[in-house]
Amino acid sequence: MDRPHHIVTGIYTAQPRLRAVRSRGAKVTLSDGRQYIDLMNGKGCITLGHHHPAVNSAIASHLRSGHASASCWSNQHEELANRIMGDVGMDNACLALYSTGTEACRAAVQVARLFTGRRLIASAGYHGWGDYWVAASHLLEANASGIIDFYFVPELLEQILERHRGDVAMVILSPDYVHLQPDTLQRLAIIASREGVLLCCDDVKQGYRSMRASRFPKTVGFHADLYTFAKGLANGQRLSCLIGRSDLMAWAKEFTYTAYFDTIPIVAALATLDYMANNDGYQRLVRCGAALAAEMRGIVRRSKLPIEIYGDGPMLQIVAATQVMDQALYANCAAAGLLLYEGDNQAVSLATADVFDELLQCFETGLAATSRQSGLIGPTSVSPRRRFQAAFNMIDGATDIIPAGQAIQWLEEER
């Protein structure tokens, strides 16, 4: 998408030269003067809606009061830390705060290595950018940072742990509920537990979205040793944390940074979590996401376009039979007033319910424009290979509707 030539970071815009002017609730106003319904929602970090009054009011009041200081620990830090630990429900847990999910995941890796004296990390999912997570040259090969990807394939994780028995410090995975079945997550967790390897649930994306803290322990039947949270905490403010067993977390004592005591994200997080807890927020997100997916599927069926809607909760993915059709759909939905996160997850906020019917109309208009365009006739359905590629774009791993042998073959071909 469009960006100034001197900015290297990828920037998503509805069309070239448009810029964000303001935002409120479920809508973003761009420089063409139009309001667009936002399903990107800050790559999933906006759970209440843009500029939510509860969060804005809490931040403004905090700034006026002059309470606390960026130099020292505060009562607000204490309150938030205790709340997160209570939500997770681990016995004898400890917590450390950071700014981003990438930092929290990096801290998890360092904690595991210091605690175990081992270097290798078995990884599935996206844990942030940086040399830690660069793909290796070959499947099941460690990269230069000692990370080995298993792409959510249990058979690959078993091979890694058998081949490197005694050398793996931790298994880290980011749970997905769009392309993965609960049984697959449970099987992966059991494999790590059986082998006596530390397990980190990287819940930066899914945490504090469909319920307080993490769905993971209810899904697999027991707690991970470590958890990371970020996106659902503070409605877009920069905040993350690593929480886990106290004997592990003792190794994070010196992991600090300049903005460690910044109070604005803490205040935003307290306001966000208060609002979600007191207003049935998690259940409303789930209900809205499920209703949206069902209605969008109905619109797709009527359009007779080869498009699938994956997911039934606060996160969805829209996948067309071809990449050309995908690109046309994104452009046409933007023209109709609906902003989509291209190739990735669409994130529902509480404000989405306020524009539910309008969103569906924009989506239907975008589909109609797509069906009218020439050159899009091709496959009549989304193939298993196409879904595999879509899952990889969203979760950095393989969907489990593909048999393990086929998934491994395709993983090797995609490299």
The predicted-structure confidence for 219-253, as pLDDT tens digits, reads as follows: 999 999 999 999 999 999 999 999 999 999 999 99
Query: CB-based contacts of 413: which residues, under 8 Å, 6+ apart?
Result: none
- Tokens 């940074």 label which residue? 257
Which range of 7-11, 213-217, 253-257, 398-402 scores highest in mean pLDDT? It is 213-217
Q: Are residues 213 and 207 in contact, defined by beta-carbon separation less than 8 angstroms? A: yes
Question: What does R_g of the chain's alpha carbons equal in angstroms?
Answer: 22
- Tokens 């003067």 label which residue? 33
Q: Are residues 330 and 342 in contact, defined by beta-carbon separation less than 8 angstroms? A: yes
1: pLDDT confidence band, cut at 50, 70 and 90?
A: very low
How far is residue 4's CA from residue 116's CA, in Å, rounded to a whole number? 46
First-last CA distance in the chain: 25
Locate 184 and state its tokens. Answer: 């697959």
Structural domains in the chain, CATH included, are 20-52+280-382 (3.90.1150.10), 68-278 (3.40.640.10)
How does pLDDT run across 151-209, given as a tens digit for each residue? 999 999 999 999 999 999 999 999 999 999 999 999 999 999 999 999 999 999 999 99
**Nearest 5 degrees, angle CA 288-CA 105-CA 194?**
90
β-pair partners for 120 = 168
Query: Is pLDDT above 50 for 361?
Result: yes
Burial 34-44 (b: 16+ CB within 10 A, else e): ebbbbbbbbeb
How does pLDDT run across 344-360, given as a tens digit for each residue? 999 999 999 999 999 99
How far is residue 79's CA from residue 155's CA, in Å, rounded to a whole number? 42
